Structure 1
């Protein structure tokens, strides 16, 4: 079974003392369990290799391949025992990664940049989300067709943290944040929907969960985020050089199992729902919210079918530029110094039809 652990909030220096939920020690301390022997396990012989994945969220449709892959036996077939850890508020994922407390972390682009800017050593090896998790939307019946049309408009913000996204996106089309009015409207779907419908705001800047709540409130949306900004990956897999070396063949085996599960889930969202209703029942307490959240999760992960995890150098370069404008980093970061695509061929080395057959012929 996928082991579920949780990390409580701690700073980078405190990370060495972090324990898993229930008092169990966090796996892979110092990387000793990181699995240099995985190459001998993929054929089903011997003990599986444990890989600890650090996610920003508890079990969720946003990371469904962990649970789909477990249910369908993909990780076991690759000789991997996956431990899925989530973090408490205020935890630096990359600090836990570089301190050897987890094998693979799934930080967003901003945290990647902040960690690298602080001198942490790790590589991004697989883009899991192919889109940004935040964006700018308007109702589908709005006269606003693009960012250029926002001049003189009132834009609602989910919070101050998305102001830099709005400013950067406006800058891409020759406008500045001074060319619009802004208002903090929070994240209540019904409140935001009413504000848009009544014309109190003309557009909204928020995150994918905010957009899902708007859909549940009955509001159809159109995304006007500039393409180059919307392509900045919302979540990627990162490893340290030492951790990757210690994991050995277990690392590409983990990525291949993940890609297989991702492929099956994208082909058959109904299967994802069935599995995630068991793995994350709280997301389905309101079936409408669960369905909307699943739709958003599928959209974020849409990719392939031949290049799962592909690293988009141009999108990452835009992300670096955005981080500089936002003040998240102090100096330019060269993408070729932290993007490492050496595992992508192995991650995609599987038969798509066989993966679908394992799921009961989904997608066929």
Structure 2
């Protein structure tokens, strides 16, 4: 695993809940759980770090360690290999993995509003997707959610990979900036966080993604179907703590506490307080459910269908799944929402 960063729930925050058992006995009662995320950013997975910092996981008997690996493909590999219990992949990679026999299930819609976009340099002559005909589009990873999203956007404008444009894996942050400066790429398929980082580092970019693609939700929480079938209590416990962390972070009254938890999770992100705050606002805004969502973490079935259609059209999968509903569920998000108070 690369870009590895771990953050373990502090037992000190759980001392009051230990009661007469004592800290040592309470610590021994916690179950060790691993969560894998597709980048080192704590802000991109903010509900996890808030739930750790506020002691919500500890209250559910869980001691959560976070590991950062490279992209959704690696997240799904870790889940299927039993190296992690939960992860945060994108919907496109989850559908594609299902065609290869990987029975991952999305249980929570974190990025309810699209957290990806295709960006060009601020002073670029390119004003829309058609302007990328014959161009090279940079991506952070070779098989991450940003790749499937970009294919979908390009296909929507009638452009086909390999014929009308090409992808180039350049990494994120500094490497992406260098790729722009060296003329290797004309555009970059980026997450909200990636775009903010580029701008913060002096590479001014603007998003040219058509507005209609905003409905395509992004990365969410996934686990394996076997975990749901054989360890349902764990999935429910995780969902309650995670949703409480999400709800806590959406309340501006808790902002200072949230930013502290995120700095604990990734000290580098917390060094520039102004940038950390702005990036958190950008990422958090993408997790606010649409007006027709009944609760946090809810997946709209029709957008899953659109995701699958785009994967078929783009050649990422040969044919639709026999049961698309097998790769997602709203059941645990509802359980979590009830625990969070609505």
Q: Provide the TM-score with structure 2 as the length reference.
A: 0.70
Aligned equivalents of 2:147, 2:337: Cα separation in 1: 37
Aligned equivalents of 1:243, 1:233: Cα separation in 2: 24
Aligned with residue 339 of structure 1, among 328, 336, 341: 328
**1:327 paired to 2:311:** no
**1:265 paired to 2:253:** no
Aligned with residue 55 of structure 2, among 73, 96, 112: 73
RMSD across aligned C-alpha pairs, in angstroms?
4.1
Aligned equivalents of 2:167, 2:223: Cα separation in 1: 39
Relative to structure 1, is the Cα distance of residues 86 and 132 closer, same or farther in structure 2, using a 3 angstrom cutoff? Answer: farther
Aligned with residue 248 of structure 1, among 232, 235, 249: 232
Q: Give unmatched runs, 5+ long, in structure 2.
A: 7-25
Aligned equivalents of 2:165, 2:223: Cα separation in 1: 41
Conserved 8 A contact 1:68-1:261? yes
Which residue in 1 is equivalent to 2:9?
Answer: none
Aligned equivalents of 1:52, 1:104: Cα separation in 2: 7
Relative to structure 1, is the Cα distance of residues 163 and 266 closer, same or farther in structure 2, using a 3 angstrom cutoff? Answer: closer
- Could you tell me how far 1:259 is from its partner in structure 2? 1.0
Aligned equivalents of 2:269, 2:202: Cα separation in 1: 19
Which residue in 2 is equivalent to 1:350?
Answer: 339
- Could you tell me how far 1:144 is from its partner in structure 2? 7.4
**1:96 paired to 2:78:** yes
Aligned equivalents of 2:87, 2:185: Cα separation in 1: 37
Conserved 8 A contact 2:243-2:333? no
Q: Which moved more, 1:177-186 or 1:63-72?
A: 177-186
Aligned equivalents of 1:96, 1:316: Cα separation in 2: 23
- Could you tell me how far 1:68 is from its partner in structure 2? 1.3
Which residue in 2 is equivalent to 1:14?
Answer: none
- Could you tell me how far 1:59 is from its partner in structure 2? 6.2
- Could you tell me how far 1:255 is from its partner in structure 2? 0.8
What SS class does the counterpart of residue 349 from structure 1 fall into?
helix
- Could you tell me how far 1:298 is from its partner in structure 2? 1.6
Relative to structure 1, is the Cα distance of residues 181 and 219 closer, same or farther in structure 2, using a 3 angstrom cutoff? Answer: same
Relative to structure 1, is the Cα distance of residues 71 and 126 closer, same or farther in structure 2, using a 3 angstrom cutoff? Answer: same
Conserved 8 A contact 2:112-2:218? yes
Aligned with residue 306 of structure 2, among 318, 337, 352: 318
Q: Give unmatched runs, 5+ long, in structure 1.
A: 1-7, 10-19, 22-43, 354-364
Report how many residues are paired: 308
Which of structures 1 and 2 has the bigger CA Rg? Answer: 1
Aligned with residue 109 of structure 1, among 88, 91, 97: 91
- Could you tell me how far 1:281 is from its partner in structure 2? 0.5
Deviations, residues 66-97 of structure 1 (Å, cap 9, x unaligned): 221122222233x2313223154487333332
Conserved 8 A contact 1:95-1:115? no
Relative to structure 1, is the Cα distance of residues 137 and 245 closer, same or farther in structure 2, using a 3 angstrom cutoff? Answer: same
Greater share of residues in helix = 2
- Could you tell me how far 1:252 is from its partner in structure 2? 1.8
Aligned equivalents of 1:341, 1:64: Cα separation in 2: 20
Which residue in 2 is equivalent to 1:16?
Answer: none
Relative to structure 1, is the Cα distance of residues 120 and 152 closer, same or farther in structure 2, using a 3 angstrom cutoff? Answer: closer
